[in-house]
Amino acid sequence: MSHRPIILGIVGDSAAGKTTLTRGIAQILGEDNVTVICTDDYHRYDRKQRAEIGISALHPDCNYLDIIQQHLSLLRSGQPILKPIYNHSTGAFDPPEYIKPNKFVIVEGLLGYSTRGMRDTYDVKVFLAPPEALRSTWKIKRDTRKRGYTEEQVIEQLRKRESDSEAFIRPQRQWADAVVTFYPSNGGTEYDDLLLNVRLVLRPTIPHPDFTKILDSNGNHQGSAVRLELDRDMGKPVDVLEVDGHATDEQVRQIERVLCSEVPHLGQFCSLEGNQDIGKVVGTTGETLQSYPLAITQLLITYHMLKAANVAAAMAIQV
């Protein structure tokens, strides 16, 4: 399969799970086939300057969006970039790095869908939208363990950044082909990260797999742990697939078969016996996460990347 790089966008607020999902997808596609770019590297100011100016990293003015867009275009046409590096440990910038795109490029970050030019560069656009309570828990855990903050500092930062989250981050949901929400089944504060459900909002902006094949006339599959329904998201009609953390092997395998039958190349990843690592990922605080909802989410996004690669390869032959 020879084609221009396929670009996946993963956008969402801080600690929404972008890096974790990126790792899982890169594992499926093969680390050597994937270039990962985190747009935190394009912050305009270091941590000290941000504090002095009183601007948050979530504000578009605090990021070189024009250079992100320029670099995305270069990567899409297979050209290298000299990428800045923002160091989360020091809060300052390291020397830039030379990056050549692999077959697949995953661009994850806060503001990736802010401009039309950026949006037009992706083949697949995903937005991560965990409930705010879950995101706060994840951010406190990650930032206290990995970024040297105290719990109080993280809580204060979340409070201060809320208006920018509302103004600049959450509206980007409208541009995504798929919106991914992991959530605790009881809706409460007591939950197990390995038993989170997932709600996948599927917009008709790209053709999704035909999940109706495995569902009964009520949109359920062998009980209610897998559900497909029509809904509205930001006022527009969407399909919604939900997979519960306690879905069974058989239910999950059937969903996988739908994905794999449409994109044969995905077949090598689909069998749960064949690849025990699907849905298993080491989170950014070092913990091992594995669940069926995570596995289905990773496979669905990989499905779209492989489909985009097939289209790009076919176009390359025509030219």
Ligand X SMILES: Nc1ncnc2c1ncn2[C@@H]1O[C@H](COP(=O)(O)OP(=O)(O)OP(=O)(O)O)[C@@H](O)[C@H]1O
Ligand Y SMILES: O=C(CO)[C@H](O)[C@H](O)COP(=O)(O)O
Chain residues that interact with ligand X, rule: CB under 6 A: 12, 14-20, 138, 141-142, 182, 193, 196, 283-285, 289, 294
List 99, 117, 147, 153, residue binding ligand Y (CB under 6 A): 147
Q: Residue 225: phi, psi to the nearest 5?
A: -80, -15
* CA separation for the pair 32, 47 (Å, rounded): 32
* CA separation for the pair 165, 268 (Å, rounded): 39
| 284, interface contact from ligand Y, ligand X, none, CB < 5-8 Å by kind | ligand X
Q: Which of 45, 40, 49, 20 is nearest to 85 (CA)?
A: 40
Q: 3-state DSSP call for residue 241? A: strand
| 91, interface contact from ligand Y, ligand X, none, CB < 5-8 Å by kind | ligand Y
Q: Is 170 in the site for ligand Y (CB under 6 A)?
A: no
Q: Which of 172, 68, 167, 97 is nearest to 128 (CA)?
A: 172
| 138, interface contact from ligand Y, ligand X, none, CB < 5-8 Å by kind | ligand X
Question: Minimal distance in Å, beta carbon 154 to ligand Y?
Answer: 9
Buried b (16+ CB within 10 A) or exposed e, 266-288: beebbeeeeeeebbbbebbeeee
Question: Minimal distance in Å, beta carbon 12 to ligand Y?
Answer: 10
8 A C-beta contact, residue 98 and residue 80: yes
Nearer to ligand X, 102 or 284 (CB): 284
List 4, 45, 47, 73, residue binding ligand Y (CB under 6 A): 47
List 91, 117, 267, 283, residue binding ligand Y (CB under 6 A): 91
Q: Is 100 in the site for ligand Y (CB under 6 A)?
A: no
Q: Which residues bind ligand Y (CB under 6 A)?
A: 14, 40, 47, 57, 88, 91, 110, 147
